[in-house]
């Protein structure tokens, strides 16, 4: 079934017509990925850091870290977007300043291999690195295993797309139990940078590719 058929179904159109529907439709994949990484739900009182946070996963992670009680530091390349990220609950810094603002107890890696050296350098003793994205700088990196050993640190990866249906269902249940109450209270939101009708999908993609946005680009029927 094509996306046009799915989006034209009455129940989907009704869902998209509500703010809750927008949250669920454009945010559950991002939130589910972060939740399945699990690190972010176990950081109360810790220093949580993440690289490049103006997109959907990053804005979700900042807010989840905040409601979990973490002290959140987020890198944001565009200076004009940093105040908006700080409003979500993070200390927003330039990527080049990442190491000097450490150490961090948990690092949620959204970009990939290019950040691994700085991640290890700024990781606290017994810290954790959770890799949930590699699209920015690729999947292959060299790692100083001695530095990992000396810090008694851990690194692991997580992805939602490759998981079996049962684990995706688990992600949905985790979102429902751990996070939906925060959406209902307004503590968590899904920032939407722009909304386009489905027939303007090409323009929506151009807006997505242009960068310089905070949050999601949403197509609606």
pTM of the model: 0.79
pLDDT digits (tens, 9 = 90+) for 108-121: 898 889 999 999 99
Omega before residue 103 within 30° of 0, cis: yes
List, for residues 172-204, the tens digit of each pLDDT value: 788 888 888 888 898 988 888 888 988 999 998
Contact in structure between 157 and 130 (CB atoms under 8 Å): yes
Is pLDDT at 8 greater than 70 in this prediction?
no
Cα 124 from chain centre: 21
CATH number at residue 64: 3.40.50.720
Does 94 map to a domain?
Answer: yes
Residue 28 lies in a domain: no
pLDDT at residue 32, rounded to an integer? 59
Integer Cα distance of 193 and 152 in angstroms: 40
Q: Give a yes or no: residue 4 inside a domain.
A: no
What residues make up the domain containing 87? 34-193
Asked whether residue 158 is assigned to any structural domain, the reply reads: yes
Instruction: Give the count of domains, the chain.
Output: 1
Categorize the per-residue pLDDT at 37 as very low, low, confident or very high, splitting at 50, 70 and 90: low
In a domain? residue 22 = no
In this structure, is residue 26 part of a structural domain? no
Model confidence pLDDT, tens digit, residues 141-176: 999 999 999 999 999 888 878 888 888 888 778 888
Residue 209 lies in a domain: no
pLDDT of residue 46: 74
C-alpha distances out from residue 184 to 20, 23, 24, 94, Å: 9, 11, 12, 32
Q: Can you tell me the distance from the alpha carbon of 154 to that of 66, in angstroms, rounded to the nearest whole number?
A: 22
How far apart, in whole angstroms, are the C-alpha atoms of residue 92 and residue 81? 9
């Amino acid at each position: 079934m094509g996306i046009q058929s799915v989006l034209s179904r009455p129940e989907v159109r009704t869902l998209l017509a509500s703010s809750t529907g927008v949250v669920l439709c454009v945010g559950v994949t991002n939130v589910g990925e972060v939740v399945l990484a699990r690190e972010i739900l176990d950081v109360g009182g810790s220093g949580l850091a993440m690289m490049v946070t103006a997109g959907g996963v990053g804005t979700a992670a900042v807010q989840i870290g905040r409601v979990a009680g973490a002290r959140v530091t987020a890198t944001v390349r565009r200076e004009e977007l940093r105040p908006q990220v700080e409003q979500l609950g993070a200390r927003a810094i330039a990527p080049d300043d990442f190491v000097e603002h450490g150490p961090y107890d948990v690092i949620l890696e959204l970009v990939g291999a290019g950040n691994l050296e700085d991640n290890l350098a700024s990781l606290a003793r017994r810290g954790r690195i959770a890799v949930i994205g590699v699209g920015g700088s690729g999947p292959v990196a060299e790692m100083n295993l001695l530095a990992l050993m000396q810090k008694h640190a851990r690194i692991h990866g997580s992805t939602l797309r490759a998981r079996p249906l049962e684990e995706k269902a688990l992600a949905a249940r985790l979102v429902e139990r751990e996070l939906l109450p925060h959406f209902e209270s307004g503590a968590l939101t899904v920032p939407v940078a722009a909304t386009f009708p489905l027939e303007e999908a090409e323009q929506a993609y151009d807006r997505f590719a242009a960068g310089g946005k905070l949050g999601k680009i949403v197509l609606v029927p």
